Structure 1
């Protein structure tokens, strides 16, 4: 079995993000001692992660309460979209652009139909993996989620959206911590095709670190691991984008 078979990109991404447990990390580090190919793959993923971080850090934050008609600076948007397109080519993603000037996170995710089940599959199924607790980014995710779901509410095209949280992103769905509890509840009630999920392993790590029980917002689906959920969804043909 080759290293490409032994360690998936999803697994190595989890390592880069510090999301593996001690046993998994130890096994990978032992392999790295004598495997240059594996080390090169991890280095490449770290470079790509930096490029993605740069792209998302420069996407304009949309405020649905202020400046609805405020012009958007397309310079940074063009750079960000170009970087994401380049990354998609490097990783071998299958990409389909429906709009030459995407204006938000959801539009970019929609444009990137990663690993489609079939080319004639018109469904839009996306997983947004939220790993940040940055207020601007979280508000952007919720703003763009709502705008996207409204657009397709009466469409014949089937749409499904999962917002999967782990790491620092757990705070989006933590009861008594999330400032968006009321808004999330409203979105859950309004859109049956929207699911909020949390990584059980990440929850357990926070509980172990703080010594306190972690309670998630009502309606949150707790999955065994973010990594496993992402891998399963990608096998089913869902698009995946990390924020």
Structure 2
């Protein structure tokens, strides 16, 4: 097992931005070679920053939904494009423990990612991430049709709302589904339709969104003339990526299931 790395996110960002001198870069490369956890952190920082860079490239989105500037990084666009195409790129943390039924539920203080005041990505536990006007605002992103991940998304959303309600802390939670994650909110295939309806009725702080762009891609791929029906408790967002970026800029924290 890898031991905890002393390398900070700031050092990783400098490494990924090619801002380290040759000697320091070689040292960090040596650490990366033997530290699996550090490689995972570096990958996550690069992936989410590339997602933002892709979204603010005028050749990709000529009319961005927000004018807030985001620091751009000089990396290739492969990972962000993979997310846009629904290929299931992992951008966060899978919170459901392995082992099937009877295992311990996900913790209430998982790792999250957010934008700091300098518009750079940071990672922290949820309790250490900044609040927005005294409230917790969390976006859960599901892009897989794996029933375990769907259940993890619902477990996490409910646990967040219940915990912050008990602490009398305002909270908003959005579950945004695209790619394979659309199956969670499709009326014709969702294995959790009853639970989603119960959650929606019980918690006004919880909202479910399906990606319209992903639905259009699904229709084109399967030759459908009409979009698959959605659960009555699901709303449509024009584009999941836009929603994620907009929420990040508003101060929300991001978790990928």
User: TM-score w.r.t. structure 2 length?
Assistant: 0.58
2:251 equivalent among 224, 228, 237? 237
Q: Which moved more, 1:212-221 or 1:187-196?
A: 212-221
The structure that is helix-richer by fraction is: 1
State how far apart, in whole Å, the 1-side matches of 2:78 and 2:152 are: 29
Partner of 1:197: 209
Q: Is the 8 A contact 2:51 2:80 kept in 1?
A: no
Match of 2:188, SS state, is coil
1:44-193 map, 5 Å: 56=94, 60-61=97-98, 66-67=101-102, 92-93=121-122, 95=124, 97=125, 110-111=126-127, 113=129, 117=132, 121-193=133-205
Inter-CA distance 94–61: structure 2 relative to 1 (3 Å threshold)? closer
**Structure 1 residues 119-171: Cα deviation after superposition (integer angstroms, max 9, x where no partner):** xx431100011111111111122122222222233432101100000011101
RMSD: 4.1
Inter-CA distance 112–198: structure 2 relative to 1 (3 Å threshold)? farther
Inter-CA distance 134–111: structure 2 relative to 1 (3 Å threshold)? farther
Q: Is the 8 A contact 2:176 2:240 kept in 1?
A: yes
State how far apart, in whole Å, the 2-side matches of 1:45 and 1:198 are: 19
Partner of 1:226: 240
Instruction: Using the TM superposition, give the Cα deviation of residue 11 of structure 1 relative to its aligned residue in structure 2, in angstroms.
Output: 4.3
State how far apart, in whole Å, the 1-side matches of 2:135 and 2:192 are: 28
State how far apart, in whole Å, the 1-side matches of 2:139 and 2:104 are: 29
Which runs of at least 4 in structure 1 moved beyond 6 Å after TM superposition?
Answer: 43-46, 85-89
- Alignment: residue pair count: 186
State how far apart, in whole Å, the 2-side matches of 1:133 and 1:143 are: 16
Q: Is the 8 A contact 1:61 1:137 kept in 2?
A: no
> Structure 1: 5+ residue runs without aligned partners?
15-22, 26-35, 98-109
User: TM-score w.r.t. structure 1 length?
Assistant: 0.61
